[in-house]
Amino acid sequence: MRSNIVSEGGLTTRLGQWWEGVPFLTSAIVIVCGVIYLICLFVGYDSFVEICFLPSSVVSRFQVYRIFTSVVFHGSLLHVLFNMLALVPLGSELERIMGSVRLLLVIILVATSNALLHVLIALLVAHNPLYAKGYLMNECAIGFSGILFSMIVIETSLSGAQSRRLLSMKTKSFDMTVNKKLKLSGDVKMQVLVFLMSASLRYSKWVYLDVCLDSLMCPLNGKSNIWYPWILLIVFQLLMTNVSLLGHLCGILTGFAYTYGIFNYLLPGSSFYSTIEGTSFLSTCVRRPKFIICTGGIPSGYIPTHSSQNTTSRTLEIFADVSELKIPST
């Protein structure tokens, strides 16, 4: 009995230490998304068509609030849990590099750019003279994973890591592992764990991935892992249901646009962040130990560089990303 108590205490301590290591903004997003999901669960709210990103409503009714409500609402426990577990390593690293306020502005910029690009592509598909299809205008998407795909691109460009790992899960009940090697420029090992369970959005099958990408080299500028987000895009689309291909695609394109400096003119200089951090409005947040101040060492509007020891063997643990849910609109 005593050993169990010690073990439980040790686990609680380790979880507390892990949470204390998560920076301010990243932990705040996790809390906000988690609380919103719990409120929806307790009050029985499932009218996601009212808050999802619906291009037709954004264009015809100018419901721009959907740009931001769609990213903080999630359709099921697994959806919010896995997206937040994916956010923690990505957001923590980017927040330590950029600072809390800078990362917040980047997330707002990415969310807005994703939405505008989403609407633009949907309009082009709906009104092109060759093959007009209006289904993208009525695609209702929720979830944080569009932003996650942008963050994956940005973080990958900063780290230069040669190895990426998606979803590390251990289970005693299931050992259904499928190993494949895809014909790509590198060694791509995929392990697929399939669980049958019920979910709130007509899901009868959930697919969890364990993808390890080794030595995927980019032919441009010697940067590595440029193919990583594209592989994730394809894998999720092939193996999962109700996935918003356009939402993820826009996230990837926005991430690359940011890394290549297209948004430089939209990002303020270091003095702006110092001014914001010095306001009385943020004084309580800035004093918190988890808040990361922008040091001003990063040139205005440019991607920071980040070097680390042994980047070849470095692995980013994204415990899960259950993708942006796509809900048929009514």
Cα separation of 94 and 160, whole Å?
14
Task: Say which residues have a Cβ less than 8 Å from residue 314's Cβ, sequence separation at least 6.
Answer: 159, 161, 162, 163, 308
Active-site annotation holder among 145, 150, 244, 323: 145
Contact 73, 36 (CB under 8 A): yes
By C-alpha distance, which of 82, 95, 83, 54 is closest to 144?
83
**Residue type for 42, please?**
F
Task: Say which residues have a Cβ less than 8 Å from residue 118's Cβ, sequence separation at least 6.
Answer: 53, 55, 246, 247, 250
Cα separation of 207 and 241, whole Å?
9
Active site residue 248: yes
| C-alpha of 60 from chain center | 28
Quick one: tokens of 143? 């979830």
Active-site annotation holder among 100, 113, 248, 323: 248
Cα separation of 150 and 147, whole Å?
5
Active site residue 118: no
Pairing verdict, β 163-166 and 315-318 = parallel
Cα separation of 326 and 138, whole Å?
10
Task: Give Cα separations from 7 to 12, 172, 210 (angstroms).
Answer: 9, 19, 28
Q: Which residues are catalytic?
A: 145, 248
